[in-house]
Amino acid sequence: MERSLSPRVVVFDLGGVLVPPEGSIGDLAAELGVGHEALSAAYWRVRDDYDRGGPSAEFWEQVTAEVGRRVGRSRFDRLDAIDAARWSSLTVGVESLLAEVTRARVPLAVLSNAPVSLAATVRAAPWSLAFRTLLFSSDVGVMKPEPAIYVMAADLLDVPSRQIAFFDDRQPNVDGALDQGWQAHLWTGPSDARRILARHGRTAVHHR
């Protein structure tokens, strides 16, 4: 078996990796006065077009209609702000991992399925300054695990696909990256990612 090359860039997904998973669903459910499960089902059922860059108002109109809450458009901005808020803070333990990779002089990047408003929140967050590249599905109109977005990302990074390390919490997205020759791994937490990267000398602190 061919030995994998040391990655020249490390790419992370956002929700469930860099930032907490589904952290906004409970707050959105409370705002609308509906159950968590009902809102989560509606939210994800109509999410793809939104992640591809679709209008925010159209997304929230569909979500609120599905849970039986016909709200005025003036509230859509409020829902959007609640949804985006969780993207401004990193998951516990992630900041130290990013610092170690940065000290090892390996560039960082983000590849995420995210609508325009959430992408804007990330770009405005102080922690995003650590990343050389931020690529969101709403930027390009395609989303993981579609092959085109991995090709676009590799072109943007200007790094051979086989030297891109990638972490995502969804197996289909990992499989999509593997199909493009990336060194893709299912995210289980900062400690496991640190061990994977340390094998290639891609963290500043090597763990035995």
Residues paired with 73 in a beta bridge: none
d(CA 25, CA 35): 10
- Predicted confidence (pLDDT) per residue in 159-201, tens digit: 999 999 999 999 999 999 999 999 999 999 999 999 999 987 7
- Predicted confidence (pLDDT) per residue in 49-107, tens digit: 999 999 999 999 999 999 999 888 889 999 999 998 888 889 999 999 999 999 999 99
For the chain, give every domain's residue range: 9-20+89-198, 25-86
Give the architecture-level CATH label for domain 9-20+89-198.
3-Layer(aba) Sandwich (3.40)
pLDDT exceeds 50 at position 2: no
pLDDT of residue 205: 45
The pTM of the full predicted model, rounded to 2 decimals, is 0.91
pLDDT exceeds 70 at position 206: no
Report whether 196 contacts 185 (CB < 8 A).
yes
pLDDT band at 208 (very low <50, low <70, confident <90, very high): very low
Alpha helices of 74-183 — where are they, by DSSP H? 76-85, 94-103, 116-124, 137-140, 147-157, 171-179
In three-state secondary structure terms, 32 is helix
pLDDT of residue 70: 87
- 98 φψ region: left (φ > 0), alpha (ψ -120 to 50), beta (else): alpha
pLDDT of residue 39: 95
CATH topology of domain 25-86: DNA polymerase; domain 1 (1.10.150)
pLDDT of residue 204: 54
